[in-house]
Structure 1
Amino acid sequence: MAVDALQLEKWEDAFQQPVASVRVMEKQLRVALQEKKDGLRALVGESYRDLLHTAERIIEMNDSIQQVESHLSQASKQCNYGSLQKKATNAVSMKQKEEDKDRKSRVTAAELAVLSNCPIAISRALSHNKSPLVAAKLYILARLLRRSVSEKVKSPYITTLERQLSNLRVTILRDLDHELCQLDTDAAKILQCLGAYALITSSSTSDTFMHFQTLRLNAVVSLLRQDTVSAETILEAIRLLNENLRLSTQLFPKRLSDNLANLQLKPLFQEPAINDMMELNMAVHIHWISDSIRMYTPWLKTDDLRNESCKIEIASKLGTTLRAIFDGLEKAVKVVSKVESLVQMRHDILIAGRGVIARTSDLNSEDLNQSLTKIREIVNTRIREVLNGDIGSMGVLGQDLAKLVSETSTVRKKDQGSWNSMLSSFENAKGGRNLKAMVRAVSYSDKSGLRSVRLKHSKWIAKIASNYAHIKKMSEERDWDPDNDEDEDDLDAPETLKEMNSTDTEALLLNYVEGLLEGYRSLETNMAGLVDGMRQESDIVDSPQRIEAACLIIRFISIVRNSCPQHGNDGIISLGWFGKDVKLRIYDFLSRDVAKKALRSFSKDLSRRKWSSGVPFIGLWEGAPKLPIQPSPLVFKFLRNLVQSMNEIGVDIWSRDATDALKRTVSKAVWDELEESLTTAEKQTNGVVDFVEDKKEEGEQKVEEADDEKEDEEKKDEGDEQKEDEEKKDEGDEQKEGGEEQKTVEENPQAEHTPLSPLHREQVLQGYFDSTYLDNAFRTVQARGVTRDDKNKDKDSQVTLGWEFIERTREKVPVETDDRVKMSRSAEDYWRRTNLLFGVLDI
């Protein structure tokens, strides 16, 4: 078995084996040696030559080291300490002599170079909105350099630089003041500006604080001294004041003192912002600048401001500022003429003013304590002025009405007071627009000239209601808004906003309602003056223009009463009293004027009546004995003329009160005419015919004169005139028949059952029926539910024609009670069947 040659420990052991084994081991060793060589070559590879070079370099370095050691050994032998000290001293001396030779010129040149670039650097610092403190420090540096250079060099260029620096100082201070007055400037920027101001002006902490307060006060005052001060201006002034108080609380005195103290901690030339400026090139010039300038540190007095003095100064400036705000607020509200704007202004200013109070709760200021009250007083006073002005514009309506009344110098075309054929013949085109216009004209009497007055009144009522709604809305506003109170939720105003709004709303609405009532009373007084003037004219001259003017006033009163100011579904004031007395005065003379024409015709017809003769239309009587069942034609004619006169001035005029006034006036006038006719008949029978005829002729002459005066008016209605002539003809026939009947009675006295009397029985019965019929026609609303006996007791309110006629004639012609009752019932029943013919009269 062959032995592994690699396992042998000694080479002698290999030869202890047989030759064949030795040869085998030789082959093994040779193979192993070749493998080692191959592995070594694989590890060395291409770096083999580098290793050879490295070995050679090591050998060379060893030679060099030996040479250096040899040279150092020789140098140490040649040099000692004394020689080196002498050489060093000589080198320093030579360098100092060289530097002292041109240092002064180098320092002057460096300082002048930096000084000439300082204006550019300052301008760039201001224009690029950098820190104002940097500009201030540059100005201080430039001032030091100018002083140093001016002592060494006398040149016009230095004077020019001094002028530039002076202008830059003004510019810096102006920019600082502008920045300090800005509302959106933060506290850090304010501190930088105050530090810059203290550096430039060498002010102490107290002076800097006073300057800030004065500047803020002047900013507020300058806002309020403008020609036009608006609500936005007042709010901006209050916000500026509020921000001033906030900054004063945060910055003074501690933070300002600390900031000014930090400015004294290191020299100005050690500021990185200054050293890094390319314009100054400090890397080159700083070495040559004087040590006194390079080491300059500003000194400021920072321990002269106390908290108590701050509060006193803030309170003083606050009082002055608030008084300026109050004055500005008075100017601002004077130019506002809308209640809505004033209410919104009041709300915004109170919200802003609350912030002032919250931040100054520890200040003892009378103006501050009364600030909200003063603001409310100023705005509320202006609101009252605007409200009173709007109420006073009611006087324009009175003036327009007076002008309209005065312009009725010519007779206007009468309005269509009710529906007629023209109203029912409109086409339905355009949604019935024409029909609506006509109905509106009839309902509101627009054609009488009141359209413009009605439209103005509608606008005025809308404005009054709008003002009331805006004031009422004040009490519905929310209380102080916590979202706008920042971090001051623990600080409250003396009174809540809701309480102030409720108090002011109640006071303003009370004043508003009283003002409206006073305005309506004044308007009613003005109308009463117009009516009194027309009543005086009515006693002098009879004019249709005056009737039209009275109708205008009545329609205006109806417009006012039907358009009461409303808030929602509730009325602001009640106008049930408005115009009652005026209407009664108008109804007094209007009823006389309207009834004149009908009463004149009634008097003329009644004068032709023959009381001593029979009734020509007795054939229409019924019953046993025969009694009248319908009134005389003259009564129908009289009522028709009266209703026609009423319709001519407009159906809308005749309310119940107006109709009752007319009925009272007409009933008295009818009885006077009836009594005069009876008296004339008695006088004729008693032998005073001549005297009566003279009176009659005189009366007829007066009637003819009155007829001549009314000729133009009677010509307007030709149809009525023709009808009147026909009725006169019928009455002529009646008189003729009556004459024949009288003749018959004289020829045959036995035909009459009663003794001869100045009043014929048939005429008395017909007269009683006529008077009873007129009683029903002229019965007022108050008298409709009263019995006849009660009405007889109240003769001052209304004349009872039927009862008076019986009392007047019972001695001449007795009438049985049953006959009177039958005729009364028949007259009342006949009125119920015919009252629709006189619809305006039976309202």
Structure 2
Amino acid sequence: MAAIDPLKLEKWEDAFQQPVASVRVMEKQLRVALQEKKEGLRALVGESYRDLLKTAERIIEMNDSIQAVELHLSQASKQCNYGSLQKKAANAVSMKEREDNRDRQNRVTAAELAVLANCPAAISRILSGEKSPLLAAKLYILARLLRRSVSEKIKSPFLTSLERQLSNLRVTILRDIEHELCLLNTETATILQCLGAYSLITSSSASDTFMHFQALRLNAVTSLLDQDAVSADTILEAIRYVNENLRLSTQLFPRRLSDTLASLKIRPLFQEPALNEMMELNMTVHGHWISESIRKYTPWLKADDLTTAICKSEIASKLGTALRAIFDGLEKAVKVVTKVDVLVRIRHDILVASRVVMGKTSNLESEDLGHSLVKIREIVNTRIREVLNRDIDAIGGLGQDLAKLTSETSTTRSREPVSWSSMLSSFENAKGGRNLGAMVRAVSYSDKSGLRAIRLKHSKWIANIASNYGHIKKMNEEKDWDPDNDDDDDAIDAPESLKDMNDADTQALLSTYVEGLLEGYRSLETSLSTLVEDIRQPGDDPDAPQPIESACVIIRFIYIIRGSSPQYHSADILDLSWFGTQARVKIYELLSKGVSRKALRSFTKDLSRRRWASDVSFNSLWEGSPRLPIQPSPLVFRFLRTLTQSMNEIGVDVWTRDAADALKNSVAKSIWEGLDDSLTSAEKQANGILKPADKDQKQSSEEKSGENGEEKSEENGEEKSEENGEDKGEEKNEEKDGEKDGNRGEDEKNEEEEDQSKEEAAPLNPLNREQILQTYFDTAYLDNALRTVASRNIRGDDKSKEENPATAVSWEFVERMQDKVTIDPDERARMSRSAEDYWRRTSLLFGVLDI
């Protein structure tokens, strides 16, 4: 198919008369030709293509501008022809002639009245828009001049209303100025404008303006402190007022204030640009008609009557008054504070804030300034001492609670829990740990005796004392107020460093605190001594309860005090090792007599039944060659068991080493005396001094008197029948236990019958060697059981006997027995070793005694 030449086509419709294939070929040819044309054009134009486009656009814009200029020139030529200009000039001359012919005085009055009528609104807008108070003052002066000028020309109620408005505005302007001057964060430029405005409105000199400023600042401080409730923040704000006043006084007076007042006299007030630009006044219309005297008015202010000496004198006077007000306010502020940490923080903040006062007033002569820091420290430290003394006095409440508790205990006679109880084995699984902890606390701290409240109160008091001590101690840990990089306060030179003041105050407060605590503890110890002296001696009144419970409460209280002294950083603030020393001796004596009474009575009763002339019924248990005793008598076991039971009944927490030693000394002395009396009685019987009948009669009378004594000395005033029944039951149980532990099954009743039959059958025999040997073993065993901590290493030497009188009595008794019956040294050594070894094996049975 032949190709179609597009150039030979006359119109575009002819292209579509050809077949589709021919049209497509023609399209490709046209596209290729078009692309070649574009590339050729691009090669001709190159990089200046965009510049050509911009040039074309600029030519079009210039054409439009030329047409607009030609249009404006055509219009101007039409309006600026000679006829139009001549007509306008004639009209201007005519107008000027008409204005000159009018009443000028009326126009002046109208212009001044129009400006005066708009002045209140303009002043109100300035005051409400937080603009310069100086501008409001200038406008007020202008309004006052206009009022005076207009009032001389006319009389009108409208003018009276304007005068009243201006009077109110004057009060408002002065109030706003005073408010701005009293603000703590007012800028220096604003203060100068306010001072200039005050001077304009009141026609005050520089000296009067300065005095007014100082009076306002002083009133701002005193108004803060005249409130009924003054806080530490109020004091700090007052000190900041004083600091800011000192800063402003140093910067502004006298020079800058004088310069400000002098600048107000440079040009007439009417030429103030801000006044002429105010829309309400419309000065472009009315300004030309204002009187010449008003337009040329210049304020006259006395700006050179303020000197540096006057400034220093007035600043010192007002500052002294402010400081005295601050001191009074500080006393009221700290009086309501009851926490030491708050007082310490107040002290630090106020001292730091007062540093500026002292640093910037070092050249001022004032007695109040020189002692301000000392006065502040004295006020706060005095209040701290009052709070500390109040906390110290709280310890007296512990003594009152103890006295009340002892009085209640003496009537209720409550029993303390023992160290182990059968109820511990029946605790529920869910609450067993909690109940066990409660039981342990009850035993360890005697909570069930009523001391729990006292103990918790004392713990809280101790924590408060330690906290107060720590807060005071941390005063000297604060950094000084002259750090190395303190560039902002280089001009401040305080008379004394904060570190020195903190060290001095900390030492003085802590010394006073510790002395007060010691005095409080001494007073509490005196109360304890009084309580102990008031406790009735055992046996004074058989119908009254015995003092054991009260004595236990007091001794537990002493343990609480001695065991929880105030501490700071794990170190004792006070050494309370001396507390309750004399009272403890008396209480230990009471406890020893009360606790050992039952055991000693039983021991004496059992000892009276001993047959010194008979053989030992359980001598079959003796061992060795020769045969010697290896275990104590049943009466010794019964005695020790009864004694430990009595000790457990009043509470194991009572029996410290000192208490146990006091009990051992008292019991040991009674034991040796009882043995000595029994041996002496047996010797008398053996020598024929007493007959058997007399002996039986004496024994029965002793038993009878002993039983009567038991009835009279019972602690709770029980009935005789109940007392005898209890003694018989206890005696029976004790004998049963003693037989089980000591005789290993021997029957004491048979022993007595056998001894009695031997006495009836045979004449009175001398002391039996077996009884002496057994008594020697019993004595050695008891000596081990009743040995105190100080006499653990006693072996019978003379020095040890002098140190422990009770032990000396025991060894004297042993030596007496050796005189009656010869005992070989080997036998003595064997029995001593056996007694010591047997005590070592059985001491756990009497754990509370072996402390």
Pairing partner for 1:686 from 686, 689, 713: 689
Please list, as runs of the form range in 1=range in 2, the aligned pairs for 1:728-747 lying within 5 A after superposition.
730-746=747-763
Structure 2 equivalent of residue 78 of structure 1: none
Pairing partner for 1:702 from 704, 708, 723: 708
Deviations 1:185-227 (A, max 9, x none): 0100000111111111111100100111111111111111111
Deviations 1:615-636 (A, max 9, x none): 3333333455544332221111
Q: CA deviation at 1:663?
A: 0.6
Structure 1 equivalent of residue 20 of structure 2: none
Contact 2:443 2:652 in 1 (8 A): no
Q: CA deviation at 1:426?
A: 4.3
- Provide the rounded CA distance (Å) in 2 between the counterparts of 1:92 and 1:833: 142
Structure 1 equivalent of residue 446 of structure 2: 445
Please list, as runs of the form range in 1=range in 2, the aligned pairs for 1:547-562 lying within 5 A after superposition.
547-562=548-563
Structure 2 equivalent of residue 598 of structure 1: 599
SS in 2 for 1:173: helix
- Provide the rounded CA distance (Å) in 2 between the counterparts of 1:542 and 1:521: 35
Q: CA deviation at 1:290?
A: 2.4
Structure 2 equivalent of residue 634 of structure 1: 635
Which one-letter code corresponds to 2:276 in the other structure? N
Contact 1:615 1:738 in 2 (8 A): no
More deviation in 381-390 or 805-814? 805-814
Structure 2 equivalent of residue 264 of structure 1: 265
- Provide the rounded CA distance (Å) in 2 between the counterparts of 1:315 and 1:419: 79
Contact 2:537 2:590 in 1 (8 A): no
Which one-letter code corresponds to 1:140 in the other structure? I
Structure 2 equivalent of residue 837 of structure 1: 845
Q: Structure 1 541/253 Cα, relative in aligned 2: closer, same or farther at 3 Å?
A: farther
- Provide the rounded CA distance (Å) in 1 between the counterparts of 2:210 and 2:730: 100
Contact 2:481 2:497 in 1 (8 A): yes
Q: Are residue 764 (structure 1) and residue 772 (structure 2) matched? A: yes
- Provide the rounded CA distance (Å) in 2 between the counterparts of 1:308 and 1:409: 81
- Provide the rounded CA distance (Å) in 2 between the counterparts of 1:252 and 1:799: 94
Structure 2 equivalent of residue 662 of structure 1: 663
Q: Structure 1 723/488 Cα, relative in aligned 2: closer, same or farther at 3 Å?
A: closer
Q: CA deviation at 1:428?
A: 5.3
Q: CA deviation at 1:125?
A: 1.4
Structure 1 equivalent of residue 284 of structure 2: 283
More deviation in 518-527 or 347-356? 518-527
- Provide the rounded CA distance (Å) in 1 between the counterparts of 2:327 and 2:594: 62
Contact 2:644 2:848 in 1 (8 A): yes
Which one-letter code corresponds to 1:244 in the other structure? N
Structure 2 equivalent of residue 607 of structure 1: 608
Structure 2 equivalent of residue 349 of structure 1: 350
Q: CA deviation at 1:490?
A: 4.4
Q: Give TM-score, length-normalised by structure 1.
A: 0.82
Structure 1 equivalent of residue 180 of structure 2: 179
More deviation in 462-471 or 632-641? 462-471
Please list, as runs of the form range in 1=range in 2, the aligned pairs for 1:275-314 lying within 5 A after superposition.
275-314=276-315
Q: CA deviation at 1:418?
A: 1.8
SS in 1 for 2:789: coil
Q: Structure 1 239/532 Cα, relative in aligned 2: closer, same or farther at 3 Å?
A: same
Deviations 1:503-549 (A, max 9, x none): 22222222222222222222222222222212557755586663222
Q: Give TM-score, length-normalised by structure 2.
A: 0.81
- Provide the rounded CA distance (Å) in 2 between the counterparts of 1:309 and 1:325: 24
Q: Structure 1 817/315 Cα, relative in aligned 2: closer, same or farther at 3 Å?
A: same
More deviation in 186-195 or 526-535? 526-535
Please list, as runs of the form range in 1=range in 2, the aligned pairs for 1:60-99 lying within 5 A after superposition.
98-99=101-102
SS in 2 for 1:475: helix
Contact 1:229 1:331 in 2 (8 A): yes
Q: CA deviation at 1:179?
A: 0.7
Please list, as runs of the form range in 1=range in 2, the aligned pairs for 1:558-597 lying within 5 A after superposition.
558-597=559-598
Structure 1 equivalent of residue 26 of structure 2: none
Q: CA deviation at 1:95?
A: 6.3
More deviation in 226-235 or 514-523? 514-523
Contact 2:410 2:550 in 1 (8 A): no
Q: CA deviation at 1:652?
A: 1.4
SS in 1 for 2:289: coil
Structure 2 equivalent of residue 790 of structure 1: 798
Structure 1 equivalent of residue 811 of structure 2: 803
- Provide the rounded CA distance (Å) in 2 between the counterparts of 1:380 and 1:190: 38
Contact 2:536 2:546 in 1 (8 A): no
Which one-letter code corresponds to 1:289 in the other structure? I
Which one-letter code corresponds to 1:686 in the other structure? I
Structure 2 equivalent of residue 80 of structure 1: none
More deviation in 500-509 or 105-114? 105-114
Q: Are residue 517 (structure 1) and residue 527 (structure 2) matched? A: no
Contact 1:183 1:243 in 2 (8 A): yes
Structure 2 equivalent of residue 402 of structure 1: 403
The percentage of aligned residue pairs carrying the same residue is: 65
Pairing partner for 1:779 from 757, 778, 787: 787
Q: Are residue 454 (structure 1) and residue 455 (structure 2) matched? A: yes
Deviations 1:294-322 (A, max 9, x none): 22221111110011111111111111111
SS in 1 for 2:288: coil
Structure 2 equivalent of residue 20 of structure 1: none
SS in 2 for 1:408: helix
Please list, as runs of the form range in 1=range in 2, the aligned pairs for 1:383-402 lying within 5 A after superposition.
383-402=384-403
- Provide the rounded CA distance (Å) in 1 between the counterparts of 2:651 and 2:95: 133
Q: Structure 1 706/627 Cα, relative in aligned 2: closer, same or farther at 3 Å?
A: farther
Contact 1:630 1:827 in 2 (8 A): yes
Q: Structure 1 764/144 Cα, relative in aligned 2: closer, same or farther at 3 Å?
A: same
Deviations 1:664-705 (A, max 9, x none): 111122233334434554566414728846853662452353
Q: Structure 1 780/599 Cα, relative in aligned 2: closer, same or farther at 3 Å?
A: same
Structure 1 equivalent of residue 476 of structure 2: 475
More deviation in 432-441 or 124-133? 432-441
Q: Structure 1 625/486 Cα, relative in aligned 2: closer, same or farther at 3 Å?
A: closer
Aligned length: 754
Deviations 1:118-177 (A, max 9, x none): 222222211111111122122222222233333333344333333332222222211111
Contact 2:359 2:492 in 1 (8 A): yes
Computed over aligned residues only, the root mean square deviation of the Cα atoms, in angstroms, reads 3.5
Q: Structure 1 836/359 Cα, relative in aligned 2: closer, same or farther at 3 Å?
A: same
- Provide the rounded CA distance (Å) in 2 between the counterparts of 1:636 and 1:780: 19
Structure 2 equivalent of residue 723 of structure 1: 733
- List runs of 5+ in structure 1 lacking aligned partners: 1-45, 72-87, 750-755
SS in 2 for 1:782: helix
Q: Structure 1 314/704 Cα, relative in aligned 2: closer, same or farther at 3 Å?
A: closer
Q: CA deviation at 1:732?
A: 3.5
Structure 1 equivalent of residue 435 of structure 2: 434
Q: Are residue 163 (structure 1) and residue 164 (structure 2) matched? A: yes
Contact 2:602 2:731 in 1 (8 A): no
Deviations 1:756-813 (A, max 9, x none): 44x4444333333323322221111112223313267428732545433345556766
- List runs of 5+ in structure 2 lacking aligned partners: 1-62, 87-91, 740-745
- Provide the rounded CA distance (Å) in 2 between the counterparts of 1:486 and 1:116: 55
More deviation in 439-448 or 223-232? 439-448
Contact 1:775 1:800 in 2 (8 A): no
- Provide the rounded CA distance (Å) in 2 between the counterparts of 1:186 and 1:351: 23
Structure 2 equivalent of residue 36 of structure 1: none
SS in 1 for 2:535: helix
- Provide the rounded CA distance (Å) in 2 between the counterparts of 1:477 and 1:174: 44
Q: CA deviation at 1:92?
A: 9.5
